[in-house]
Structure 1
Amino acid sequence: MEEARVAVVIEDEEDIRSLLSAVLAQAGFTVHGAATGQDGLDLVLEHQPLVTTLDVNMPGMDGFETAKRIRLASTTYIVMLSARTEEIDALQGLEAGADDYVAKPFRPRELRARIDAMLRRPRHHIAAPAFAGAGEVDIDRDGWLEHRGVRLNPETRIVTVDGADLDLTRSEFDILADLLGSGRRVRAKSDLAMMLRGEHYTGVEYVSDSDARAIEVHVANLRRKLGESPASPRWIETVRGVGYRLTA
């Protein structure tokens, strides 16, 4: 069943909040707005939106802390907006649980395009691994992908590790699903960045250094939640200078 198109806008500046609400309403969303992080968190808990836009610089609870608290209770796509354009700020936003980080001032058309791209992510159809063999991905009759104790169901978006549920952001889930679906094939950072945009990398698209760095942050967060060390990985192997693949 298609998720209801509900959005929450958390922004302390009324004119920007109104602009964001208008952009999302034009895209077919029912929009709820809040001026503080706590009020926004309450709206997310109440409405469980598909998309949440979140300002970084707010009085009281800032956007980074708000994102962390939202992520504990919701799988909503989080788009963080800020006039702070340093790379460290964007990485901090991604580490807090955001799916995208947009610099202010932003162009409404670009913002809508980025949100549309997130919603196009391939979330239900994972190709069978290219290689079959011992120690690689198994697919059972119910569609679960399994590799060395990690089990992932693309339909229900549930992940377990050695039988225990694992709480992932949408980006982390999509990256893990993509790696499991690729078997031992290497997935370049550019491939993963385009996948998160809902697109396929053909070699001519532009993938920035910040996009590649964002993938590194998502994979680092994924590894931390899995409880594995990059130096001695159980699940995700780094291919230096290229990207990632499953361990053998």
Structure 2
Amino acid sequence: MQHAYGSTQAQRRSARVLVVDDDPTVAEVVAAYLDRAGHVVDRAGDGPSALARLAAHRPDLVVLDLMLPGMDGIEVCRRMRAGGPVPVIMLTARGDEEDRILGLEVGADDYVTKPFSPRELVLRVESVLRRSRPPAAPGHRMAAAGLTIDPTGRRVTKHGVELALTLREFDLLRFFLRHPGRAFSREDLMREVWGWDFGDLSTVTVHVRRLRGKIEDDPARPRLIRTVWGVGYRFEPGGEAD
């Protein structure tokens, strides 16, 4: 199977990755594959240890297990995000969609369901890291409906006030601003924003809902990100509320 988000070894850049999992076998395998990909890996077996390592040296990305003793991955992710932006990929052994959605709701950028291929996880890590790094060339600022996007600094303001967007929320909003008035299906957005040709489409739904909550004056009656029934979503800078 071809992965649209795959990268070659030459394209990869070393990053500091924190792996949080109470299963030493899983943690060891994940760490070994990430180390082989050229990354510097730190490990933690529970939530408090993960938060302590995060405070001591903020990583470039966290691979976080959902099921941790004492403090679960949801709470760990929530506390991590409260301390500032850090990309998070959540691991879950559960098949329950509610758990996956909850992880995305608290700020996880992606999730991988156990059992998983370590090589697949490395590719997901590479995909998230690529999008979290500043562009090599300065990007042009974009503005619409009181929103201003600074691609180089990865900052978004609404009427001059900076918004706290996650990595994927930023990418999603930037994509919408680049294509105003055009309707996109969830499959389109998964491919164009996430860089994947396959995946759980509820990921897109959750991120659209979270983005609406941050940029809309009334998220219950969205004016900017419109639902196009039977298709998907459309960004309307000057549209009326649904």
TM-score, normalising length: structure 2: 0.84
Calculate the aligned-residue CA RMSD, in Å. 2.3
Q: Kindly tell me: are residues 123 and 36 of structure 1, through their superposed partners in 2, closer, same or farther at Cα, counting changes over 3 Å? A: closer
1:216 to 181, 199, 205: 205
SS at match of 2:88: strand
Q: Aligned to 2:35, what secondary structure does the other structure show?
A: helix
- Is the alpha carbon distance of 1:160 and 1:3 closer, same or farther for their aligned partners in structure 2, counting shifts above 3 Å? farther
Shift of 1:121: 3.9
2:182 equivalent among 166, 180, 185: 185
**What is the aligned partner in structure 2 of residue 54 from structure 1?**
64
Deviation at 1:231, TM superposition (A): 4.8
Opposite residue 113 of structure 2, the aligned amino acid is: A
- In the alignment, the residues of structure 1 paired with residue 62 and residue 155 of structure 2 have an alpha-carbon distance, to the nearest angstrom, of 22
| Equivalent position of 1:164 in the other structure | 161
Q: Determine the C-alpha separation between the residues in 2 that align with 1:122 and 1:19.
A: 24
The aligned runs of 1:129-148 (5 Å cut-off) are: 143-148=140-145
Shift of 1:245: 1.9
Rounded to whole Å, the distance in 1 between the matches of 2:210 and 2:55 is 24
2:214 matches 1:225 = yes
Cα distance change of structure 1 residues 228 and 219 upon mapping to structure 2, 3 Å threshold:
farther
Give 5+ residue unaligned stretches, structure 1: 126-140, 200-204
Work out whether 1:18 is the aligned partner of 2:28.
Answer: yes
| Aligned counterpart in structure 1 of residue 146 of structure 2, from 139, 145, 149 | 149
**2:50 alignment counterpart:** 40
CA-CA distance at 1:124 after TM superposition: 6.2
Indicate if the aligned counterparts of 1:230 and 1:238 stay in contact, CA closer than 8 A. no
- Per the alignment, residue 242 of structure 1 pairs with 231
Displacement, 1:191? 1.7
The Cα of 1:13 is off from its aligned counterpart by 1.6
SS at structure 2 position matched to 1:223:
helix
What TM-score does the superposition give when structure 1 sets the normalisation length? 0.82
Find the residue that maps to 1:33 and give its secondary structure: strand
- The alpha-carbon distance between structure 1 residues 218 and 67, as it changes in their structure 2 partners (threshold 3 A), is same
| Partners of 2:47 and 2:70 within 8 A in 1 | yes
Q: Note if 1:106 corresponds to 2:128.
A: no
Runs of 4+ in 1 over 6 A off after TM superposition: 122-125
Give the counterpart letter for 1:148 in structure 2: A
Tell me the alpha carbon deviations over residues 123-148 of structure 1, each in whole angstroms, 9 at most, x when there is no partner.
767xxxxxxxxxxxxxxx98221111
**Shift, 1:174, TM fit:** 0.6
Would you say how many aligned residue pairs link Structure 1 and Structure 2?
224
Is the CA contact (8 Å cut-off) linking 1:121 and 1:196 kept in structure 2? no
Shift of the 238–96 alpha-carbon distance from structure 1 to 2, 3 Å rule, reads same
The equivalent of 1:129 in structure 2 is none
Output the CA distance in 2 between the equivalents of 1:153 and 1:187.
23
Question: Once the two structures are aligned, what percentage of the paired residues are identical?
Answer: 38
